[in-house]
Structure 1
Amino acid sequence: MVAKIRVRWPDGAICGICFTEALHTHGRCPGCGDERLLPGRHPDGTAICRDCAGITRPEMQCVRCETEAERFRGGACARCVVTEDLESLLKPTTPPDLRLVRLVQALASAERPESTYTWMRGKRARELLTAIGEREIELTHDGLDQLPSSPAVEHLRAILIHHRMITAPADHYLAIFERWLAKRLDELHDRPQIASIIERYATWHHLSRLRKRVGITNMDVAARDARQQITEAGKFLIWVEDHAHLTVETFSQLHIDEYLTDAVSTRYEIKNFISWLSRGRSGRRQLFVPKRRAVLPLPALTQQHRLQVIRNAIEFDQVALGTRVAALIHLLWATPLTRLAQLKMDCIELRPDGMHIALGPTPSAIPEFLAPLFWQHLEDRTNQQTTNVGTDWLFPGYRAGQHLSVPTLQQRFNVLGLDPQRTRNTTLKSLTGQIDVRSLAETLGYAPKTLSAHAERAGVYMGGYAASKRVNTPTTISLTKP
């Protein structure tokens, strides 16, 4: 005998078959082993499929595609509803446009079409799709750049790039920087003299350097640094104009010193701009920014606090598994968040002697009791049920073809009580006391100079370590199981 049958219906929280509280699941039926809708209930409470439950009513099938799925609207499943709405908005056949046909297929084929439906109902997303359907917007980067910046536009751009409907830029972060720069210069249109100097500084100093460093350096970090330096340079010039009542041609070293007096640390980011500006004046006036003296000691945690956060990452089942795995990598190997977010699936290696992670030339063994968590994450990564499918990022992001952003990752770490900067310093202090700098640098992917500085702060004498020959053997990070 089968217990109550429960199905979730979009027009209410009551099942249309048994009139009980709605409860819908989809997965592998324990009775027949098939991946199906599980509306039935075994006497022990286990969810089972309609055949095993003996359900014969037709309400469990889509009236259009006749596949087994819950009805979403008018007897049709969510995928059919999304396809119909997209075809109505995009009009891929009037006139025929193969790219729009592919766009409909890409959006409707998501594992969770309900997410696509929710996105389409947003005001900006609907206006965007309607404009594309009316052929008011070209499906090109230039066409999308003409629109006001919004999450809907960038989401669509990412989908088009991921499915190769438009050409991917030379670098994702470089493209973001170029769009940000255009917006920043537009914000300074009422200050033409400042806008002119900032445009020259940003274009001939930062943008040209970023273009040369594509594929060589971490463009996420480089672009963020460039944005901050340009922003601070603009703030300084506005201060010169409003408070000192001078121009970029007339301010002196005295005004730089006054601007930096009792200032927040970010103001010292004008150093690069002042150096560039001084060179451009042919030595008429030598300007400089004094070196900022650190007032506070290097922030760190106690080892006991670090072990407690590791315990949180292992035991907090209510936190997303991807967040916990990312936190463990940061806690054990001190991987910076910018590199952590950009790790790919191939950094995890499965060997006969266990699971390893390759953060540098020398892989490191993952502690055996943590391997099941890593394996479970590899088998079921988050953000794979909508448009970001087929990606090889270890931590996929919300947008198609992109990894999780650093701010999002940092925000998620707060749930575990993890402070990235303090944790990184504490971990490096601990590791430099256990492993020599050269071996540790090849394991973690850090520069030896950086690790030597941490070793000196930890009071470890590093001069006795010989420059040993590089040997690519796995390094084990020692850790007492919390």
Structure 2
Amino acid sequence: MTDPGRPATGGNGSVRPPTLTDLAPRKKRGRPRSAGQHACDRCHQQVAKIRVHWPDGAVCGACFTEATHTYGTCPHCREHRMLPGRSPGREPLCRDCAGITTALTCTGCHREAERFRAGLCIRCALTDDLTAVLNPGDDLRLHRLIKVFAGTQRPESVYTYMRPGTRARALLEAIGARKLALTHEAFDRLPRSTAVEHLRALVVHHRMMPARGNETLARFEHWLATRITELPEDGTADLIERFATWHHLERIRAQATNPDADLETSTHAAKQEITEAGKFLIWLQEHHHTLAEELQQLHIDDYLSHDPSTRKQIRTFVRWLNHQQGRRTGVIDVAFRNAQSTPMITHTERLELVRNCLEHRHVTGSTRLAGLILLLWAHPLNKIVMLRREHLTVTPQGMLLTLGATPTAIPEALTAMLWQHLQNPGNQNTANTGTPWLFPGTRAGQHLHPATLSRRLKVLGIDAQRARNATLRDLTHEVDARTLIDTLGYSPGIIARHAALSATPMSDYIDMKRQRPR
């Protein structure tokens, strides 16, 4: 049965892009509307309650919140201030020019703003609450934390984030009671949760706690230590620890010395292989009462004859065992799993997806831009999210994007979208400000996760693997291999393979294979 939430598929795994004209418009700020008998004169919807009556008519709560968060230059008096009013032509006006008498000045900071509580704006109310919870005293780091929280573009989100009863509130109260120190050791002793890692990233990004190198590596090391303690002490834990340390951890630590290395992919693969290796050893003990030193090929064949397919992830562990001292049996192996097909979309479908990215403005601009980078240059998602602002260069001749050794020119039709994205890259409304990433994530100081980007691209009908394969196929038809290697940053082997799949003649194939992959 077809899943209505996924794009339809046709021959050879092709994807027919869905129609996105039915996407819901972006919701207004404020509490969700409840249907009722009252008509709002601004949004023209039936609501349960009218918040205020202004000269231009009745205003519901959502429209009131939107109006009191609109700032700019009043077209009548030319003053820069809050613009809650509306002219007969629906033009935003300041309170005085619109004739609004509602009190919209904070009694604390005397700034024009919606009164959130007892005459205070949200920033002043949030500052008071944070001061009571964190009890900063003489600790300058806590004073800085209060300013960071209260100074965000969306302080309402922080107020919701730290409301009583949440894990975030409990962490802040522990800091205020001096039960949780601002150190990595103290955070590591806490049960792992999104709230803990979010707060850790925030205080590190804003220099209230020192960084500890590559955070992905640190999380992997913490995961590995926890995973080892969960394994049986019959030799399984010791063997898996040696495998994980000498085969995976050393390699990942070496990769971490390169700031542009993608550790998310490496650590994800390592976790899979370590987890499956542990499951295999436990199965070996339970079903054959055999230790790894006496493992034979028949045991492996028996294990792989049953589902699930993830059992094939033991291949690296089995090959590693061949080189370990103490093994008393012959060489063992797990067959390499070759892809049976290359999922791909057609050239027409690829052009349709490009059109989706350009035209469907209901979708977030950062998602549409990431989709274009994938569809035009076949840049993998794990590398797209790691692009920095410095990879975009503005020259008198136009904008350049650096994906490989040679920068590539950006089509003029995309420059406006890129420039707008540079001014507002998204995910900056709370505490993730001042980041170098072109696609910032929701966690302070970190980029968007590839899995998150993959889910967002599906809204545009883009399956990343099929789209990337199709783009590489088309590019190898249009551009010579050496130029693609320098422009896209791919290794010669990958370009050679896709050129062969697209039946592109390559006279320098042998020379390319001799080159070291970048």
TM-score normalised to the size of structure 1? 0.89
* Equivalent in the alignment of 1:43: 88
Contact 1:268 1:289 (8 Å CA) reproduced? no
The structure 1 residue matched to 2:418, chosen from 356, 365, 374, is 374
Aligned-residue identity in percent: 46
Q: Match for 2:157: what amino acid? A: S
* Equivalent in the alignment of 2:152: 110
How far apart in 2 are the matches of 1:192 and 1:30? Answer: 75
More deviation, 225-234/266-275: 266-275
* Equivalent in the alignment of 1:220: 264
The structure 2 residue matched to 1:168, chosen from 204, 211, 215, is 211
Contact 1:107 1:116 (8 Å CA) reproduced? yes
More deviation, 364-373/143-152: 364-373
Contact 1:6 1:15 (8 Å CA) reproduced? no
Deviation at 1:16, TM superposition (A): 4.4
SS in 1 for 2:507: coil
* Equivalent in the alignment of 2:7: none
Correspondences of 1:106-255 after superposition (within 5 Å): 106-121=148-163, 123-188=166-231, 192-216=234-258, 217-255=261-299
Per the alignment, do residues 250 and 68 of structure 1 end up closer, same or farther by CA in structure 2, a change over 3 Å counting? same
* Equivalent in the alignment of 1:21: 60
Deviation at 1:421, TM superposition (A): 0.6
**Greater RCO (CA < 8 Å, at least 6 residues apart):** 2
Deviation at 1:233, TM superposition (A): 0.9
Per the alignment, do residues 343 and 321 of structure 1 end up closer, same or farther by CA in structure 2, a change over 3 Å counting? same
Q: Match for 1:351: what amino acid? A: T
Deviation at 1:168, TM superposition (A): 1.0
Q: Is 1:273 equivalent to 2:312 in the alignment? A: no
More deviation, 247-256/97-106: 247-256
Q: Structure 1 stretches of 5 or more lacking a match?
A: 469-482
More deviation, 65-74/457-466: 457-466
The structure 2 residue matched to 1:289, chosen from 311, 319, 333, is 333
Per the alignment, do residues 294 and 76 of structure 1 end up closer, same or farther by CA in structure 2, a change over 3 Å counting? same
* Equivalent in the alignment of 1:424: 468
SS in 2 for 1:71: coil
Deviation at 1:90, TM superposition (A): 0.8
SS in 1 for 2:414: helix
How far apart in 1 are the matches of 2:380 and 2:113? Answer: 43
Contact 1:398 1:404 (8 Å CA) reproduced? yes
Contact 2:74 2:80 (8 Å CA) reproduced? no
Correspondences of 1:341-360 after superposition (within 5 Å): 341-360=385-404
How far apart in 2 are the matches of 1:380 and 1:447? Answer: 33
Count residues in correspondence.
Answer: 457
Contact 1:300 1:422 (8 Å CA) reproduced? yes
Per the alignment, do residues 73 and 228 of structure 1 end up closer, same or farther by CA in structure 2, a change over 3 Å counting? same
* Equivalent in the alignment of 1:394: 438
Contact 2:220 2:267 (8 Å CA) reproduced? yes
SS in 1 for 2:375: helix
Deviation at 1:295, TM superposition (A): 5.5
Contact 1:39 1:48 (8 Å CA) reproduced? yes
Contact 1:29 1:47 (8 Å CA) reproduced? no
* Equivalent in the alignment of 1:476: none
Deviation at 1:359, TM superposition (A): 0.6
Q: Match for 2:489: what amino acid? A: G
How far apart in 1 are the matches of 2:49 and 2:495? Answer: 58
Contact 2:293 2:328 (8 Å CA) reproduced? no
Per the alignment, do residues 293 and 133 of structure 1 end up closer, same or farther by CA in structure 2, a change over 3 Å counting? closer
How far apart in 1 are the matches of 2:78 and 2:470? Answer: 48
SS in 2 for 1:427: helix
* Equivalent in the alignment of 2:8: none
